[in-house]
Structure 1
Amino acid sequence: MVEKNMKNNYLIYLISFFSGFLSLAQEIIWMRLISFAGMSVPQTFSYTLAFFLLGIAVGAQIGKSICSKNVVSINTLGHIFILIAVVDLILIGLVYWYLNILGISILFLGLCVFVCASIRGIVFPLIHHVGTEQVKAGAQISNVYFSNVFGSALAPILIGFIILDYFNTQQTYFLICFLTLVIGFLCLNAGTVKRVVVVLGVGVLVLVGVSERIILELSKGRWDEGKYPSQIFENKYGFIQVYDDEVIFGANVYDGKFNTDIFKNTNGIERAYLLTAIHPNAENILVIGLSTGSWVKVLSTMPNVKKITVIEINPAYIDLIKQHPIVSNLLRDGRIEFIFDDGRKWIQKNQDKKFDIVLMNTTWHWRAYVSNLLSKDFFSFVSHSLSDTGVIYYNTTESLDAYYTAKKVFPYVYKYRFMILASHEKQTLDFDSVQKNLCNLRDYLTQKNVFLGQECILATNEIMKNPLLSYKEIDFSSLGRKPEVITDDNMIVEFKYGKGL
C-alpha cells in the first residue's frame, strides 16, 4: 500500500519538522488577526485554539483515510503541501474580500482557522505512514514524532519573538505560504508540477512585498465611520494605529490623543493636571504606559521633578512620539528615562525604589492580562514602591471593582472621573491651592509658563468641574451586585465581568 523505497530518512525528518513548524506558525498569525479583530479580549485565544484543534482533528481523520485507501509516497506529501499553500492563499484572499465588503466577523475568521488547520492536519498522518513503513523500530517512530514536535515548539519562538520584528503580519503569512511551497517542491518528483510550483512561489514572494491590507481593513471605521488609519506601527509587541494624525489606537482599541491643552481638552487631559495640583512637590515619578506621551509631558512641567521613569512595553511608541512636536521634546528632557519592559515585572524587580507619584493611564479593564495591573496582588507591590507621601493614580476604565480592590490595599481611595487616586495619607483639593500650583508649571526646556494670568483660573475651573470623591461617596449601585476584589487568580475584569467576544 505504501511505496517501499524511501531513500532518505533525513528528508522525512525535515518534512515532519516543517509540518509542525508551519502549522503552528500559521496558527500564531491567525491568533494575531483574531485577537486584533476582537480587541484583545482574552477569549480570542481559546476561540482560535478551539477552531484550530478541531481542524487538526478533522484533518487527521482525512489523512488516516487516505493512508488506508491509497498508495502514499513522498511525492504524495508534496502534492498535499502544495494544496495547503494554495488553500492558505485562497483563505487570506477571502478574508480581505470579506473585510472590505462586509466588515469584521469573528465567526468567519474562526471558520478560516478551521479550514486552514483541517488541510494542514492531513499531512502528519501521511508523514508518519511514509516515514515508518519500512522501519517499524521505536527509534524511527520517535524520530518522526520528535521532528514534528520540535518544529511545533520552535515556531512560536521564531515567529513570535524574531520574525514579527522584521516582517508584518501579512508578510509573515505569505512567507509561511512560500515555505510551504518550498517543502512541497522538495517532495515532488521532477515534472510539470514542479515548474508550476516555481511560478507560484515567485508570485507569493511578490505578495510579501505588497503593502499591508489585512490589518488596515480590520482597522477601518474603528475611530470614524469608514475611515482608515493614516499610519500603522507593527512589531512583535503589537499594533499602533494613528487616525487623523492625533488619535491613537493600540491593538484596535482607543489609547489616547496627542494633546496637552486643558482648554482644547479632547482627551480628558485635566486628569493629568490634577496630579500636578494635588502633589506639587513630587520629585520622583513612575509612569507605566507611555501611549502618546501627553500625560508624561504634563507631569514634566512640575517644577520640583528630578526624574520621571517611564515603563513601556512597546518601543514603537517612541517612533510615534518623534513625529509629533507637542511631545517630541520629551526625548530631549534629561530627567526622563524610558525603559522598555513589562510594568509589573519592572516594579517587582525594583522594590527598593520609591516614588512620589505612580501613574498608570493604561488599557481597558476587559482586555487580556489587564488583571496584572488591576489586582490586589499588584497594588501590594505598588504600595511598597510609594514614598511616605506618595500617591498612585490610575485609570479604571469604568471598572467599579477596581475601586473596591484599591480600598483593600490603601487606606485612602478617591475617585476623579474614571481615575483612582490612592494613598496612605488623606488627600484634599481646594481651588486656591490648585490655582497656585498650576501657575507654577513651566516647560522644562524653554522655561515658559504653561499658564499665564487669567489662564491659571480658567485651568483651575476645568479641574474643579469634576469632584474628587472619597471612597464613601463612590456609587456602586450600577453594578447590580456586590463589588469584588480583583486578584491575579480570579481575573474577574477579563473573564467573569469582561467584554467577551
Structure 2
Amino acid sequence: MSENNKESNNHKQYKRLALVFFLSGMSSLLYQVSWQRILTIAYGVGSVSITLIVTIFMLGLGLGALLGGELASRYSAKSGRLYFCFELILGLYGLLSLPILQFLGQTTSGAPIHLYGLLISLFLAIPTILMGATLPLLVESESREGREIGETVGELYCTNTLGACAGSLVSAYFLISIWGLDTAIYCASATNFILSAIFYPFLKRQEARLKLATEVNANGNAKDNAKDGSKDDLRATKAASADSHKASAIYLLAFVSGFVAIGLELCWFRTIEILVKSSPYAFASVLGVYLFGLAAGGGFIGKHIEKAKKIGQTKLYLLLQLGIALYVLVSYSLLNTHQLHALMRLSDMQELHPSFSLEIFQNLKSFSEGWFAWFDIAIWPSYFMLLPTFAMGASFPLLSSITAGIDKSDGKTVSRAYFVNVMGNVLGGLCTGFLFFNILGTASSVLALCCILVAVFGFAYLKHVDFKLRLTAKHLLLFLPLLLLLRYPSNEKLMNQMHYKPDGECTTYLQEGSSCVSMAYERDDSVWHWINGLAHGGRLPHMFGYYNRALEALSFAGKESNILVIGYGTGSIVEAVLRSPKVEKVTVVELNQEVMTNLKKMDQFKKLLQDKRIELVIDDGRRYLYRSKEKFDVVLMDPLRSSTAYSNNIYSAEFFKLVADHLNKQGILMVWLDNMTVIPKTIASQFNHVKLYKSFCLASPDAFCPKSLHDQRHAELLNNFSQEEVKKIGAEEELLGDENHIKENSASFGINTDLKPVTEYHLWH
C-alpha cells in the first residue's frame, strides 16, 4: 500500500473516531439534562437537591477518569475494547434508567437528605464513572497510533465537548420540548449503541495490527507491551526527567482552575437566569455556550500544540488563566455602560425567553421592544462566557501536554489531570453555591473568584518571567485589577441594573442566597417584588383583586379550618385566608428562604407573619406533599409562572393527583393561571369538578356546593374586611365555564405530565 493510500485510510479512521467521540459527548449530555430534571421530581428543586445532583454527577466523572486512567495503564492494548464495552453498558443502563427512576420516585419520594443523597449517588455512580473513563481510554487507544498527547487530547477533547454542546441544545430545544424527557433518554441510549457500531470496525483493525506487532516482536511480549519501541523509549526518557515537585505544582494549579471555572459558571448562570427570567432554556443555553467555548479552545490549541511548546506551555497556561480573570472583571464592569443597560431593559420587557412571537412585527414599537427576546438567550451567554471558556478549553490540552511523561501511559496522564480538575469543580461548586452566594452575593462572588485566579496564577507566572520584566509584571498584576474595581458594580448596583425600578424614591431590599435572588422595592404601603428577575407578587392598589382567588376557594369549601398555601408570593392570599376566624391553621410552603428573609425586613410582612396560625415550611411544594400525611380543606397555589424552569413539577397531572390525595371531603384546590388551555385541561384530568375563571381555576374531587350557599359564605367572608377594602377587592372574577367548557376549548392541546412538560418547555407548542 502506498504512503498516500495509507495516510488517506488513517485520515478516514480518525474521522470515524471523531464521530464516535462526538456522539459519546452528545449522549452524555442528553443523559445529564434528562436525569437531572427527572431526579428533581422526586427529590425537589431546592438548592440542596440541585447541588447534590450536580456534585454527584461531577464526582462520578472524576472517579471515572481515575478508573479509566488506571485501566488504560494496566490494559493498554485492550483500551479500545474497554471503551467499546463501556459505551454498550451505558446504552443498556440508559434503557433501564426510566424504570429505575420511576421505582425510586414511588418508593423514596420525600426521603430525608442523607437517604436521597445516597440514592442519587447509587443511581448516578455507574453511568458517570463509565462516562468519565471514556476519555482516558480513547486517548490511550489513539496514542498507540503514535500521535502526540497534546494534539490527541486537544482534538478528542474538542470533538467530545462539541458533542456535549450539541446534546445540551438538542435535548432542551427539540427532544424535551417536542417529545418529552423519556424520548431524550431513549435517544441517548440509541446513540450509545450507534457509536458502538461505528467504533467496532476501528477496534477490529486496531486489534489486528496489535496481533501482527506481537508476532513480529522478537521477545514475544504480550499485547500489553506491543507498542512501538521508539514510543517506549520516548516515555522512558520523559519519565526519567519528570520533576515530581513540578508535577504537584501543576496539579495544584489544575485544581484551582477547576474550582474557579465551576464557580464562575454558577455566577454566570445566576446572572443570565435573572436576565432571561428563569427560562427553562437558560440552563441548556448557558451549558451549550460554555461547552462550545471549551471545544473551540481545545481544538485550537490541539492544532497548534507545537507552537505552544515554542512559546512555553506552562507560561501560556498561566497567561490563559490570568486572561480569564481580566475578561470576567471587564465584562461585569461594562454592565454599567448605557449600551448594555439598554439591552438589559429589552430583556426585562419580555417574560418568555426565547420568545418567537410574531407580534413584534405588528408595528415599529413592538419590534423595537421585542426583537432582542428572540436572541438574548444566546447573546448574554456569549457575551459573558465565550472568550473565558475558550481559554478554559485551551488549558486542558496544555495541562495534559505539560504533565505528559509523569506516568507510563498517556491515558493515565490525562486521567489524573482530568480528575484533579474535576475535584476542583466539585469543591468550587459547593463553595460558590453554599458559601459565596450566601455570604458575598453574586457580584462579589465573581470578584472573589477572579482574585483567586490573579493571586494563584499571577504568583506562579512571576516565576516564569525574566528577572528584568518581573517588576513590570508585578505592577500590571496589581494595578490592572485595581483600575477595574473603580467601575466594578456592587451586589446591589448589579441587581438594580437587572431589575425594573419604579420611578421615585424607594427603599431597596436585596437578599441573595444559594436558592435565589429576592429583590424588592418599597414605597409607603406599595411593594414591588422579583424572584430571580421575574416579577412575583407585590402590593399595589390594583392587586387587591387577588384576594378574590382565596375568597372564592373558601366560599366553595366544605370547611376552612386547615389551609395549605404553596408559594408565599407577597402574602396577599395568606392575608385573605387569615381574615376568616374559622381558619385554625395555615401551612405556608415556600421554596426560597431568601424570599422570606427579604420580606421580613419590611414591617408589614413582619407583622403579618407573626400570626400564630401560620406554620412556615421552607421546602419544595411537591416534596412537602410527599412527606406529609396531613389532609387539607383548601390548597391554594400561587407559584411562579408555568413557563419557568422546573415549574412542571407542580403543574403536572401527577402533581395534581398528589394534591387531590391530600384534600378532605369537599376540599378545594385553587391554582393561579398564566395558561388557559394546557393547565386547566391537566387539572381536569385529575379532578371531576372544575371551575375556570379568567385568572385562576378551582377544582374538587366532589361536587361544588350550590350557588346560594356559596354566595352566603362569600358574604360572610367579606364581613371580615372594611368597606374600603371590599371596594378595592371588587366584584367576583368572571366564571368562564366548568370541566365541560375546558374539554371543549382545549381539545387540540395536550396535558402536562412529569415526563412531558408542555408548558415549561413551551417552544413548538
Q: Tell whether 2:615 aligns with 1:337.
A: yes
**CA 1:140–1:248 in structure 2 vs 1: closer, same or farther (change >3 Å)?**
same
Q: 2:532 aligns with which of 251, 257, 264?
A: 251
**Residue aligning to 1:210:** 490
8 Å CA contact retained: 1:59, 1:118: yes
**Residue aligning to 1:368:** 645
Q: Tell whether 2:520 aligns with 1:242.
A: yes
Q: CA deviation at 1:441?
A: 6.2
Which whole-Å CA distance do the structure 2 matches of 1:165 and 1:392 have between them? 35
Report matched runs for 1:309-458 at 5 Å: 309-350=587-628, 352-428=629-705, 430=707, 433-434=710-711, 437-439=714-716, 449-451=720-722
**CA 1:199–1:163 in structure 2 vs 1: closer, same or farther (change >3 Å)?**
same
Please state whether the residue corresponding to 1:482 is helix, strand or coil.
coil
Q: Which structure 1 segments of 5+ residues have no match? A: 443-448
- 1:258 alignment partner AA: R
Please state whether the residue corresponding to 1:194 is helix, strand or coil.
helix
Please state whether the residue corresponding to 2:492 is helix, strand or coil.
coil
Q: 2:404 aligns with which of 114, 132, 141?
A: 132
Which whole-Å CA distance do the structure 2 matches of 1:248 and 1:84 have between them? 34
Deviation track 1:208-248 (CA, whole Å, cap 9, x = no partner) reads 88343333222136xx6999994333222112232454122
Q: Tell whether 2:562 aligns with 1:292.
A: no
Which whole-Å CA distance do the structure 1 matches of 2:483 and 2:711 have between them? 64
**Residue aligning to 1:473:** 741
- 2:535 alignment partner AA: Y
TM-score (norm 1): 0.86
Which whole-Å CA distance do the structure 2 matches of 1:377 and 1:209 have between them? 44
- 1:88 alignment partner AA: V
Which whole-Å CA distance do the structure 2 matches of 1:484 and 1:51 have between them? 32
**CA 1:115–1:429 in structure 2 vs 1: closer, same or farther (change >3 Å)?**
farther
Deviation track 1:427-452 (CA, whole Å, cap 9, x = no partner) reads 1464675355444568xxxxxx4246
Q: 1:30 aligns with which of 264, 268, 286?
A: 268
- 2:282 alignment partner AA: T
- 2:539 alignment partner AA: F
Report matched runs for 1:160-175 at 5 Å: 160-175=433-448
Which has the higher mean CA deviation after the structures are superposed, 333-342 or 156-165?
Answer: 156-165
Q: 1:74 aligns with which of 284, 303, 314?
A: 314
8 Å CA contact retained: 2:690, 2:700: yes
Q: Tell whether 2:296 aligns with 1:51.
A: no
Deviation track 1:258-282 (CA, whole Å, cap 9, x = no partner) reads 26x8xx6455332222233333731
Bigger RCO of structures 1 and 2 (CA < 8 A, at least 6 apart): 2
**Residue aligning to 1:485:** 751
**Residue aligning to 1:445:** none
Larger radius of gyration: 2
Which has the higher mean CA deviation after the structures are superposed, 167-176 or 205-214?
Answer: 205-214
- 1:147 alignment partner AA: V
Which whole-Å CA distance do the structure 1 matches of 2:507 and 2:645 have between them? 23
Q: Tell whether 2:418 aligns with 1:148.
A: no
Please state whether the residue corresponding to 2:546 is helix, strand or coil.
coil
Which whole-Å CA distance do the structure 2 matches of 1:476 and 1:43 have between them? 31
Q: Which structure 2 segments of 5+ residues have no match? A: 1-147, 151-237, 348-371, 464-469
Aligned-pair identity in percent equals: 23
Q: 1:109 aligns with which of 364, 368, 380?
A: 380
**CA 1:309–1:174 in structure 2 vs 1: closer, same or farther (change >3 Å)?**
same
Deviation track 1:444-475 (CA, whole Å, cap 9, x = no partner) reads xxxxx4246x987x689x34352373222348
- 1:359 alignment partner AA: L
**CA 1:303–1:21 in structure 2 vs 1: closer, same or farther (change >3 Å)?**
same
- 1:358 alignment partner AA: V
Q: CA deviation at 1:184?
A: 1.1
8 Å CA contact retained: 1:75, 1:189: no
Which whole-Å CA distance do the structure 1 matches of 2:733 and 2:271 have between them? 41
8 Å CA contact retained: 2:510, 2:520: yes
Q: CA deviation at 1:95?
A: 4.0
- 1:217 alignment partner AA: Q
Which whole-Å CA distance do the structure 2 matches of 1:361 and 1:216 have between them? 25
**CA 1:41–1:414 in structure 2 vs 1: closer, same or farther (change >3 Å)?**
same
Q: Alignment RMSD, CA only?
A: 3.2
Q: 1:187 aligns with which of 435, 450, 460?
A: 460
Number of residues of Structure 1 aligned to a counterpart in Structure 2: 482
**Residue aligning to 1:91:** 331
Please state whether the residue corresponding to 2:537 is helix, strand or coil.
strand
8 Å CA contact retained: 1:361, 1:394: yes
Which whole-Å CA distance do the structure 1 matches of 2:491 and 2:738 have between them? 52
8 Å CA contact retained: 1:286, 1:357: yes
- The structure that is strand-richer by fraction is 1
Report matched runs for 1:214-225 at 5 Å: 214-220=494-500
**CA 1:225–1:495 in structure 2 vs 1: closer, same or farther (change >3 Å)?**
farther
Deviation track 1:124-153 (CA, whole Å, cap 9, x = no partner) reads 222221122454446544322210121223
- The structure that is helix-richer by fraction is 2
8 Å CA contact retained: 1:258, 1:326: no
Which has the higher mean CA deviation after the structures are superposed, 306-315 or 56-65?
Answer: 56-65
Which whole-Å CA distance do the structure 2 matches of 1:459 and 1:209 have between them? 41
Please state whether the residue corresponding to 2:586 is helix, strand or coil.
strand
Please state whether the residue corresponding to 2:327 is helix, strand or coil.
helix
